């Protein structure tokens, strides 16, 4: 039987020169999808991956059935009260997509659960029906008018994150002949029930314009409300929970600028709150005659809360409400009529506090575990004493509570049911602190079965991200049980570049400190080895997007640590991408990675960019994925990286590239199809570890 031979991408000379530095990129041509050789190469890589993984098809199917079998398919969210209705999302047995529903409010506890025998269920939108003739479907915005008579929603059918808005009359079920293409993720109704505001993409896939649409009018004649001219900023729209204001928000990496208008008058002008400035972020809630503003101005790196009169909202009028505390990042505010809910972190763990406006009394919501995740929700009601929050740990499935901010009692509403015999008591979770090479202590969260040996003999799966200040909490994931139940220890490294430990934790993993992110991940792996949780070469690692960059960097530096690595939609061609300002995210991310048109950043990015630092050495087994329609990390980044690795590596380990031809950055859109992608990764990992069952 002939041994399978991997595809070889031809090399074509292409040279760049900047700062007297000449670089050659033999696979630059792969970015041209119209080149027949590009598609032929991608298809050859997919065919090779399928062929290599063919012996694991039975295992993939078993993993898929396991993961799907843990999900209660006919499930629903806890209903949210809004006016005369309860709104919720449910899933049907076998359905890949959500069904958006509502019921009329009635008295009684049965009504609170959304089970209303009197009014009955009203299906607003069944995404399963919309997806019947589509390879991909994702609902973007979904927003009913204030009088609940109209629905505005948007769809992406390619994975390109370009959405078309449709408007439906909920009484007649008829769509208005006013589709609006080329839109993004934000839409808000004015209080007149006739107008809404939405964001539009430019030729570089950046949401930079906000328009107002009035029902019955030609969308091509919609009024331009705001246009952003700074290419570092994206624009979105939000509506206050009080429904008094509509906000137009310009945001770049670590910068923001807010404007507001009267939601009751769609023709009212926009009023600027405070002009943008470098490294200055703020966001706004309204309460009475004032704004409450979370911000990092005046040296408040980890954010503070100030108030300002709505009549004069600029910086000179800001006065402190919650002072800045270094190492306690304030992550968000939820403002109700009588209460302020604040989400923050302390000692790397999330906390939620409640303050009564009338007295100033404040308290924290009491939590159960030592390591956990919690997030509060604003909901749809302004005049309420109840805040809903979701809580989980690595052994506790997501659990929804309604918390009475007055009595401090919590009401259990729902826990995600994990089928297949899952018992939380069969698993243990821990939090370790790994010493980094520069003395920083990096948190690691772990989960494993109680019968797993902790002597270095068990395989370990280590996940990381470490960019944009994004926080990875120690939360539950049912899919990972398919590894944990096969003896893996599952670990999350809370490395610098995230904001788990505060703003300094983020800043020490970005720009000219970016290599700390990669060093932290390696140091976490070494620490787990030293503590007996793993052995060198007996570790699987995984990350996606910027976490895929992490994977690329660590396998260049310490390939000996890892047996298998999965890099999903990996941002690995960092230098070339950051030099290409025609790509959607490049300019707004100069504050994350640096602008390589400056020699200092050019040299630094080049020093770690995974694609530019592939060398002739042994590499672990690698599974690399991408999406052909991905606007965030273009398909050619993983493709070029795979081609360069094939040409350079000195081992016989697996190198597999899978480009999904009908999706983008987020992968498959169906909830079960996504599990097939996880099953492929887990089968790859298990295969590399010699586990076939």
* Active site (catalytic) residues: 545, 630, 665
Q: Which of 513, 343, 367, 500 is nearest to 434 (CA)?
A: 500
642: left (phi over 0), alpha (psi -120 to 50) or beta: alpha
456: left (phi over 0), alpha (psi -120 to 50) or beta: left
- What is the DSSP code string of 304-351? EEEEEETTS-SGGG-EEEE---TT--EEEEEE-SSEEEEEEEETTEEE
Q: Pull the structure tokens for residue 135.
A: 């390879």
Please report, in angstroms and rounded to a whole number, the separation of the first and last CA atoms in the chain. Answer: 25
User: Three-class SS of residue 482?
Assistant: helix
Q: Using CA atoms, how far apart are residues 280 and 299, in angstroms rounded to an integer? A: 10
Q: Which residues of 26-60 are buried (b: 16+ CB within 10 A; e: fewer)?
A: bbbbbbeeeeeebeebbeebbebbeebbeebeebb
Q: Pull the structure tokens for residue 482.
A: 């398919």
Q: Using CA atoms, how far apart are residues 413 and 225, in angstroms rounded to an integer? A: 41
- What is the DSSP code string of 18-79? ETTEEEE-TTGGGG-TTSHHHHHHHHHHHHHHHHHHGGGHHHHHHHHHHHHHTB-SS-BPPP
Q: Using CA atoms, how far apart are residues 673 and 678, in angstroms rounded to an integer? A: 9
Could you tell me if 10 and 28 are in contact, meaning their C-beta atoms sit under 8 angstroms apart? no
Q: Using CA atoms, how far apart are residues 571 and 593, in angstroms rounded to an integer? A: 12
Q: Pull the structure tokens for residue 566.
A: 């999965």
In the block, tokens 């590239």 appear at: 657
497: left (phi over 0), alpha (psi -120 to 50) or beta: left
User: Three-class SS of residue 255?
Assistant: strand
Q: Which of 370, 409, 407, 368 is nearest to 391 (CA)?
A: 368
CA distances from 38 to 56, 387, 584, 648 (A): 28, 52, 22, 20
Question: What size, in residues, is the chain?
Answer: 693
Do strands 245-252 and 621-627 pair parallel, antiparallel, or not at all (unpaired)?
Answer: unpaired
Residues 6+ apart with CB under 8 A from 346: 327, 328
Q: To 10 degrees, the CA torsion angle through 667, 668, 669, 671?
A: -110
- What is the DSSP code string of 271-290? EESS---TT--EEEEEETTE
Q: Using CA atoms, how far apart are residues 147 and 506, in angstroms rounded to an integer? A: 43
Q: Using CA atoms, how far apart are residues 669 and 6, in angstroms rounded to an integer? A: 29
Would you tell me how many other CB atoms lie within 10 Å of the CB of residue 427?
21
Q: Using CA atoms, how far apart are residues 70 and 63, in angstroms rounded to an integer? A: 11
Would you tell me how many other CB atoms lie within 10 Å of the CB of residue 102?
24
């Amino acid at each position: 039987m002939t041994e399978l031979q991997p595809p070889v991408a031809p090399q074509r000379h292409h040279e760049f020169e900047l700062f007297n530095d000449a670089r050659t990129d033999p696979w630059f041509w792969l970015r041209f999808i119209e080149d027949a050789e590009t598609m032929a190469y991608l298809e050859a890589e997919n065919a090779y991956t399928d062929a290599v993984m063919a012996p694991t098809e039975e295992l993939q199917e078993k993993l898929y059935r396991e993961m799907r079998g843990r999900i209660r398919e006919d499930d629903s969210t806890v209903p949210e009260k809004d006016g005369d209705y309860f709104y919720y999302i449910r899933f049907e047995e076998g359905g890949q997509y959500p069904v958006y529903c509502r019921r009329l409010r009635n008295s009684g506890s049965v009504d609170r659960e959304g089970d209303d025998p009197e009014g009955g269920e009203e299906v607003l939108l069944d995404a399963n029906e919309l997806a019947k003739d589509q390879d991909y479907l994702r609902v973007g915005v979904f927003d009913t008018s204030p009088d609940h008579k109209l629905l505005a929603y948007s769809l992406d059918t390619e994975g390109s994150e370009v959405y078309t808005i449709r408007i439906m009359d909920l009484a007649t079920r008829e769509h208005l002949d006013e589709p609006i293409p080329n839109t993004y993720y934000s839409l808000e109704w004015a209080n007149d029930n006739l107008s809404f505001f939405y964001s539009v993409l430019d030729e570089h896939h950046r949401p930079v314009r906000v328009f107002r649409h009035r029902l019955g009018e030609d969308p091509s004649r919609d009024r331009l409300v705001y246009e952003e001219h700074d290419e570092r900023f994206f624009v979105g729209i939000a509506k206050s929970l009080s429904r008094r204001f509509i906000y137009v928000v310009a945001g770049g990496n670590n910068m923001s600028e807010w404007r507001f208008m009267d939601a009751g008058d769609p023709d009212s002008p926009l009023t600027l709150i405070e002009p943008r400035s470098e490294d200055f972020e703020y966001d706004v809630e309204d309460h009475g005659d004032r704004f409450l503003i979370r911000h990092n101005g005046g040296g408040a790196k980890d954010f503070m809360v100030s108030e300002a009169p709505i009549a004069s909202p600029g910086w000179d009028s800001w006065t402190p409400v919650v002072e800045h505390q270094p190492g306690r990042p304030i992550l968000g505010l939820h403002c109700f009529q009588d209460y302020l809910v604040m989400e923050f972190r302390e000692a790397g763990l999330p906390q939620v506090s409640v303050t009564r406006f009338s007295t100033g009394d404040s308290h924290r919501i009491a939590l159960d575990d030592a390591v956990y995740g919690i997030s509060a929700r604003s909901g749809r009601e302004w005049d309420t004493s109840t805040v809903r929050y979701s809580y989980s740990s690595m052994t506790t499935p997501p659990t929804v509570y309604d918390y009475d901010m007055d009595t401090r009692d919590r009401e259990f509403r729902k826990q995600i049911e994990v089928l297949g015999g899952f018992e939380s008591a069969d698993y243990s979770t821990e939090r370790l602190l790994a010493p980094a090479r520069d003395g920083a202590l990096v948190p690691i969260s772990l989960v494993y079965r109680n019968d797993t040996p902790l002597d270095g003999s068990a395989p370990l799966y280590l996940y990381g991200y470490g960019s944009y200040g994004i926080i990875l909490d120690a939360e539950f994931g049912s899919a990972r049980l398919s590894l944990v139940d096969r003896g893996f220890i599952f670990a999350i490294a809370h490395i610098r570049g995230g904001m788990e430990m505060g703003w300094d934790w983020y800043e020490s993993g970005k720009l000219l400190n970016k290599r700390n992110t990669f060093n932290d991940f390696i140091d976490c792996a070494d620490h787990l080895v030293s503590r007996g949780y793993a052995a060198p070469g007996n570790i699987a690692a995984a990350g996606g997007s910027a976490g895929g960059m992490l994977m690329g960097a660590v396998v260049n530096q310490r390939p000996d640590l890892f047996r298998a690595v999965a890099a999903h939609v990996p941002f690995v061609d960092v230098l070339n991408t950051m030099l290409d300002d025609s790509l959607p995210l490049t300019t707004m991310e100069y504050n994350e990675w640096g602008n390589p048109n400056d020699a200092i950043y050019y040299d630094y990015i080049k020093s770690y960019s995974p694609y530019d630092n592939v060398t002739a050495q042994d590499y672990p087994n690698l599974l690399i994925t991408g999406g052909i329609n991905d606007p965030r990390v273009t398909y050619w980044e993983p493709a070029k990286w795979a081609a360069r690795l094939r040409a350079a590596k000195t081992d016989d380990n697996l190198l597999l590239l899978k480009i999904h031809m009908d999706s983008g950055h987020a992968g498959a859109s169906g909830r079960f199809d996504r599990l097939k992608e996880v099953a492929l990764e887990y089968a790859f990992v298990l295969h590399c570890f010699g586990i076939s069952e």
